[in-house]
Chains A and B, each alone.
Chain A
Amino acid sequence: SQQGEEDPQALSIQEGENATMNCSYKTSINNLQWYRQNSGRGLVHLILIRSNEREKHSGRLRVTLDTSKKSSSLLITASRAADTASYFCATVTSGNTPLVFGKGTRLSVIA
Chain B
Amino acid sequence: EPEVTQTPSHQVTQMGQEVILRCVPISNHLYFYWYRQILGQKVEFLVSFYNNEISEKSEIFDDQFSVERPDGSNFTLKIRSTKLEDSAMYFCASRELAGLFEQYFGPGTRLTVT
Q: Do the two chains belong together in a single complex?
A: no
